Structure 1
C-alpha cells in the first residue's frame, strides 16, 4: 500500500521563544516526528525485542510480550473469520484486564477500529454505542455481556450485533489470586456463555484457538484506529475519530516526557476505555516495551501491595486515588520508594497532598490536561518544574492559546478566555457529525485550532490554569458527566415532567451530580427523591447518577422557554459555599 508521506515539520518554529520553554524538560525537543507506522507495529516490535519480558501483570499472573502478540494475532484471525473487514468498528467492553489489551491490539491487527466503551454503562446507554458506529461485532467481559445483548435486542434487526466474544477476568488470573473481597462477585464468577439471537457467541478460549491466518496488516498513520465517545452539551455522545497518527504522537511523547525507558514498571489503574489510560498508559507502555501492572478498578490496599511488590516506577492516576492511598490505615506497610514519576489529571491535586508527596517521597506531582479529542495530554506540567493546581504547559508539538470565546482575539497573560489547541494529537472530527466538527474548529494564526470549551488563563511563565467551563460538564472524581445526557435518560422516567442536572460540591469527589426535578401531576406526592435516585442507578452508569434529587414545582426559564441551568447552578454554588473553620 503506497501513500505520500506528509512533509516533515520544520525543526524551528515560530513560538520557540514562548515563555514556558524556559521550563521545558532538559534534553527534550519541543516537537517530535512520531513513527510513520500503525499502532500495531509498536506491539510487533516490542515482541521481537523483548519476547520473554513481562508485558502485563494481573493479580501476579504474567503475560509476556510474545504471548500478548500471539494472542492478539489469534484473536485478529478470529475476527476476520467472523466477517470483520478493514475499517469495521468493533466494540470493546471490559474493565481493565489483559484481555482488554489483547482485544484492542487484535482489532487493530485485523485492520479494524476499536470502539472503547465505559463498562459502567447500562443497556439504555449501550444502544447508542452499537447503532451509531454501525458496530456488528463486540468483545465483552462475561459480567457485562447481558447488558450489551439487552441493548442489541432493543435495536432494529438490521442494527443488531451479529457476533460476540465473551471473556472472564479470571481467565487471566493465577490460582489463588488475592483479590479484594468486595470484588469476588463480578471478578470471580463464571457465567454461562450467553446466546445472541440471529448471531453467534464465542468464548475467549475458542476465539484464541482460531487456526486461520490473520489478514495482511495494511493500516497507515492516516487510517482510523480508535473511535472513543465523548458527550457534549447537547444530545447523545459523539465519536471522536482518531487515526493511528494522533495516538502514536501522544504515546511516544508521553514516554519521552516522563523519562520513560523499557525498564519502566507502570501501574495502570485509570480506565483503559478512557483516552488517558489507553494512550498515556497502554500505548506508551507497549511502545517502550515496559511492564504494565493492571488493576481492574481502584482499591487502595491492592494498589499499595502492587506498587510495593512489583517496584512500580511510574503511576498515572486521578488525585483522589493518591488521597485515598495516603489515608489507608495500612499505608506504613507499603513501600513507595521505587516511584520516580507520579502525575495525572481529571481533578486538581490538593496542595497539602502534593506537599506530602514531595516531603515524604521526593515526588513532584505533575498534573496534566487533555480531552478525548486531543488523545489525552494537550498540556502537562514539566516533571522537574510543576506548578500546583495547574494544567501545565502545551505538550510536545502543541500550540495552545487563550482567546476571547466571542471575538477569538488572543487574551493577554492572566486574563481568562477559551483554551484552543493545535497539534498532531488533535482528532480528525466527530463521527457522522460534520456540523459538530465544523463548530469545534477555528482558523487562528493560519492554523486549525480545536475549541476546548474550557475557560482558562496563562500566567507570565506560559503555564495554563483552568478557570471555568463553557460547556455544562460535571467533574466527579475525574469522571466527566454531561448534564444533557443524564437529563435525556431521566426523561424516560414515567413520573418526571422536567429535569435539570447541575453540579453540587462534594468534599471527596470535588463535584457530584444533582438533579432538580419537576414531577408530573399524577406523580406528585407518590414519587420520592430516593425512588428517582434508585431508578437512575438501574438505567445509567453509577457515576452519572444524581447523588441528590431536589423536587420543585417549576424550573426557572428564560423568555425563550429555555431552562436557566446557570441560575440553578449559581444558586447551588451559593448554598454550598464552604464555611470558614
Structure 2
C-alpha cells in the first residue's frame, strides 16, 4: 500500500457513527471537496509542470509512448481541426475504438472544441450503433481501420459527415491529418471551448438506467471534474503509479476512473486494446503495473486461473473491483493469491460514475464485501421500497445518492429523467442495499431490472421486445441467472406459440445483439406471471430460479 493510501486509511473517521445521527441521510465520512470551476481539459492538463515529458500513455502491445506534453498539444491541435469543421457547443463526436492512447486525445479534443463525445461499444450491432448515432445527433465518427467498413455502413444511415481513423485507411481522414490541420496557423492555444462547466456537456454515454432501452446520459464538464476530485481525494492513484487500462474507455468506468483519474494524478496509463488473460498478466509483469481497476470476472480469473502462477505480479499494490458486485470469497481468494488488498467501489453512469469507495489499509476485514461509504460531498439515503421511509443502519432499501456528480439528465427524455432523479436531486439507483453503523454499504439485491453480464448492462425489456418479434414466441420474460464467471447471464422464460427450440431462440437473439446481450439459457413455461396491470412479475421468476439452483 502506498503512502497516500496509508495516510488515508489512518484518517478514515471511526469516531462518528451513523447510528448516533438523528437524520436518516448518511453523510460521507470524508471531508467535502470544492469543485474547481474549470473545463475538463484545463482540470486534467492545464498545468503540466514537470509532467510534460513524462509518459501519459504507453500502448501495451507495442510499447509506444505518448507524453503528457504530446497528449495536450495533439488534443489542442485536433480540437482546432474539429472546430474548423464546425464542431462547437452542442456538437457531438462519436468514438468507436478499442483502448489506444489516441482515444484520450480524441476525447479531450472534442471537449476542448466546446462539443461532446458519445462513446460507442465496438461490439455493438450496426442497428445499435445507428440508434445511438441518430439519438445523439453525432456528426463526426472516429474509429480504427479494422472497423472502417462498418463505420461507413452505419454513417450512411445517420447524420455523420466525416469519418476519421486512428492510423490510415482509404476512404477516411487520418486522425493525424486532423491534428496537422489544427497546427497550420502555428497556434498551440486551445479553442474557445465551453461557456459554462455546469451546463455544457462533455460526454454522452448510453445507459439503460433502471430499466428499458438505452438513453443518452448527459454529463457535463463539472460532473466529471467533480467526480474525479471526489474519488481522487480518497488517495487511490499517485504520480508514480502505473495503471493498466484493460477496462474499455467507452464504458464510464474505464473512461472516468481509469483513463481520466490516472491522468489527473499524473500517473502512467498502459493501454490494452482487448482482454486476454495471459496478455493481461504479461502486461502487469512487463510494465510493473501498480494499480488494477477490474471487474469481478477478471478478479475471479486472478483468484483461480492456473496461468497466474507463471507471472510476477508483485508490483501490484491494490486491486479495485467495480461495475458489478464482487463476492467476498472471491475477493479474499484473490487477496491471498496476489498478495495485495482487494477493494470495491460502486457507481453508475448517471453519477459520472463513482458514489461509494471502500479503500484503505486499515479497512477491517469484515468490510471487504462492502462498497464502502459515500465519497466526499455525496449524501445517501436507504429508502424502504414499500413505505418510502428513509431507513437507518441495518435497514434494507433502495440506495439513493445526491452530489455534484449526478447527471444533468437523459437526452431528450424528461420523463425518464424525472423517474430517476427526483425534485430534490436524489438519484434513485435501483440497487437495494443496507448500511452498517459506519456507513459502509452492502448491495444485497436490485430493485431495477438490469442484468449485469461481466459488468455490462443488459436490459431485459430490450431482449423481451426482440424475442416477441419471433413468430414462435407468444410471451417472454428475461431474468438474471447467477454465473460464477460472468456474474449474471440473461435467461429467457418463453411461452411458445409454435414449434421452437431453446437453441433456435438463443441463435435468433445472438444474430441481432451485441455479444454481452446474448440469451444464454432458455426455459419454456406455460405462462408468464404478471400483475393485474400486466406488468411482468420478474421477482417471482427470479425467486423460482434461485430456489431451483440452491
TM-score by length of 1: 0.83
Partners of 2:314 and 2:227 in 1: how far apart? 28
Once the two structures are TM-superposed, the CA of residue 235 in structure 1 deviates from its matched residue by 3.7
Displacement of 1:352? 3.6
**Residue 482 in structure 1 maps to residue 453 in structure 2:** no
Contact 1:504/1:512 (<8 A) preserved: yes
Q: 1:234: Cα distance to partner?
A: 4.7
What is the DSSP-based 3-state SS (H/G/I as helix, E as strand, rest coil) of the residue aligned with 2:425?
strand
Quote the offset at 1:135 in angstroms: 1.4
Aligned to 1:150: 153
Q: Which runs of 5+ in 1 are unaligned?
A: 1-15, 23-27, 172-191, 195-200
- Asked if 2 retains the 8 angstrom alpha-carbon contact of 1:46 and 1:65, the reply is no
Match of 1:174 in 2: none
- The SS at the match of 1:472 is coil
Contact residue 325 and residue 443 of structure 2 kept, 8 A: no
Greater shift, 548-557 or 72-81, is seen at: 548-557
Equivalence for 1:498: 475
For the structure 1 residues 79 and 57, does the alpha-carbon distance in structure 2 shift closer, same or farther, using more than 3 Å as the test?
same
Q: Is the 8 A contact 1:266 1:285 kept in 2?
A: yes
Secondary structure at 2:422 match in 1: strand
CA distance in 2, matches of 1:162, 1:555: 46
SS in 1 for 2:354: strand
Tell me the distance in 2 between the aligned counterparts of 1:230 and 1:85: 24
**Cα distance in 1 between the residues matched to 2:545 and 2:243:** 40
Shift of 1:494: 5.1
How far did 1:39 drift?
0.9
Query: Matches of 1:409 and 1:554 in 2, distance apart?
Result: 35
Check 1:21–1:226 CA distance in 2 against 1; reply closer, same or farther (3 A cut).
farther
Q: Which residue of structure 2 lines up, in the alignment, with residue 202 of structure 1?
A: 173
Partner residue in 2 for 1:283? 260
Counterpart of 1:240 (choices 199, 217, 226) is 217
Could you say which residue in structure 1 is the equivalent of 2:250? Answer: 273
Residue number among 296, 301, 316 corresponding to 1:324 in the alignment: 301
- Give 1:221's aligned residue: 197
Contact 2:401–2:427 (8 Å) recurs in 1:
yes
- Equivalent residues of 1:440, 1:450 under 8 A apart: yes
Return the alpha-carbon distance in structure 1 between the equivalents of residues 473 and 49 of structure 2. 58
Partner residue in 2 for 1:164: 163
Question: Which residue of structure 2 lines up, in the alignment, with residue 34 of structure 1?
Answer: 35
Which runs of structure 2 are paired with 1:461-472 in the superposition (5 Å)? 461-472=438-449
Q: Which residue of 2 aligns with 1:65?
A: 68
Inter-CA distance 277–299: structure 2 relative to 1 (3 Å threshold): same
- Are positions 1:430 and 2:410 aligned together? yes
2:51 maps to which residue?
A: 50
For the residues of structure 1 that align with 2:534 and 2:326, how far apart are their CA atoms? 39
Q: 1:532 aligns with which of 505, 512, 528?
A: 505
Q: 2:523 aligns with which of 539, 550, 554?
A: 550
Counterpart residue number, 1:449: 426
Give a deviation string over 1:287-344, Cα, whole Å, max 9, x none.
1221001112222211212112212111111122122134343323322222222212
Q: 1:492 to 1:82 in 2, by over 3 A?
A: farther
Residue equivalent to 1:341: 318
Task: Give deviations 1:377-401, integer Å, cap 9, x for gaps.
Answer: 1011132215122121011111111
Range moving further from structure 2, 456-465 or 206-215: 206-215
Q: How does 1:84-483 map to 2 (within 5 A)?
A: 84-154=87-157, 159-167=158-166, 193-194=170-171, 201-210=172-181, 211-212=183-184, 215-222=191-198, 223-359=200-336, 361-384=338-361, 385=363, 387-442=367-422, 447-483=424-460
Gaps of 5+ in 2: 1-14, 22-28
Which protein has greater RCO, CA pairs closer than 8 Å, 6+ apart?
A: 2
Cα pair distance change 1:151/1:565, threshold 3 Å: farther
* Structure 1 residue 84: Cα displacement: 1.6
Number of aligned residues: 519
Contact 1:75 1:106 survives alignment (8 Å): yes
For 1:475 and 1:400, how far apart are their aligned partners in 2?
A: 23
Equivalent in the alignment of 1:185: none
Q: Distance in 1 between matches of 2:471 and 2:52?
A: 57
Aligned residues of 1:93 and 1:140 also touching (Cα < 8 A): yes
Question: Any conservation in 1 of the 2:213–2:459 contact (CA below 8 Å)?
Answer: no
Contact 1:110 1:217 (C-alpha < 8 Å) held by counterparts: yes
Instruction: Give the whole-Å Cα distance in 2 for the aligned partners of 1:553 and 1:162.
Output: 50
Q: CA deviation at 1:82?
A: 2.4
**DSSP 3-state at the match of 1:365:** strand
Q: Is the 8 A contact 1:20 1:463 kept in 2?
A: no
Counterpart contact for 1:373–1:426, Cα < 8 Å: yes
User: Aligned-pair distance for 1:406?
Assistant: 4.3
Shift of 1:364: 2.0
- Distance, in Å, in 2 between the alignment partners of 1:405 and 1:438 is 18
Tell me which residue corresponds to 1:572.
545
CA contact (8 A) 1:94 1:100 kept: yes
After superposition, the Cα gap between the structure-2 partners of 1:494 and 1:122, relative to the gap in structure 1 and judged at 3 Å, is farther
CA 1:21–1:257 in structure 2 vs 1: closer, same or farther (change >3 Å)? Answer: farther
- Cα displacement (A) at 1:143: 3.0
Query: How far is 1:506 from its partner?
Result: 1.6
> In structure 2, do the counterparts of structure 1 residues 448 and 217 end up closer, same or farther at CA, with 3 Å as the change threshold?
closer
Using the TM superposition, give the Cα deviation of residue 517 of structure 1 relative to its aligned residue in structure 2, in angstroms.
2.8
In the TM superposition, residue 30 of structure 1 has moved relative to its aligned partner by 1.6
CA contact (8 A) 1:505 1:576 kept: no
SS of the residue aligned with 1:448? coil
